[in-house]
């Protein structure tokens, strides 16, 4: 079990960028739900099939700008590079019993 919800979120992001499916699955709640402007409340199986393999889309792993836990949600603002352009996103992640239960991604524009 992780020492904190923030540690769980950072470990989940690391598993995504390293394409470590076993680590990602170990961190996912059985009732995992993921929402972004491109995905509407997809489940664990769909995320593993559709989203996990997309890490090669990024030029570099995300860099955390701010991360805080408030009211049971971890808010994680980060930036990343795609095709030479820098973008910023915000994720609101609910962690339950040391696992990622729900992720909501809000896309930012190019910086």
Structure tokens at 36: 């972004």
Q: What is the extent of the structural domain holding 101?
A: 5-110
Task: Quote the CA–CA distance of 85 and 111 in Å, as a whole number.
Answer: 8
CATH code for the domain in which residue 20 is found: 3.10.450.50
**Share in percent of the chain as helix, strand, coil (round to 5):** 30, 50, 20
Long-range contacts of 72-78 (CB under 8 A, 24+ apart): 72/5, 74/5, 74/6, 74/8, 74/9, 76/9, 76/13, 78/13
Q: What is the pLDDT of residue 33?
A: 98
Region of 18 please: left (phi>0), alpha (psi -120 to 50) or beta. Answer: alpha
E strands along 47-110, which residues? Answer: 63-70, 73-82, 85-96, 99-110
- Please tell me the total count of domains within the chain: 1
Q: What is the pLDDT of residue 2?
A: 39
- DSSP structure class, residue 50: H
Q: What is the pLDDT of residue 109?
A: 86
pLDDT along the chain (111 residues), means of 10: 80 96 98 96 98 91 93 94 95 97 95 90
Q: What is the pLDDT of residue 3?
A: 57
Closest by Cα among 31, 81, 24 to 56? 81
Q: What is the pLDDT of residue 60?
A: 87
């Amino acid at each position: 079990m992780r020492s904190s919800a923030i540690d769980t979120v950072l470990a989940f992001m690391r598993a995504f960028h390293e394409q470590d499916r076993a680590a990602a699955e170990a961190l996912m709640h059985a009732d995992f739900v993921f929402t972004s402007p491109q995905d509407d409340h997809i489940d664990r199986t769909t995320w593993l099939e559709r989203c996990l393999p997309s890490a090669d889309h990024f030029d570099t792993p995300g860099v955390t700008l701010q991360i805080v836990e408030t009211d049971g949600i971890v808010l994680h603002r980060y930036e990343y590079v795609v095709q030479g352009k820098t973008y910023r996103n915000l994720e609101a992640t609910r962690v339950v019993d040391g696992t990622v239960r729900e992720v909501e991604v809000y896309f930012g524009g190019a910086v």
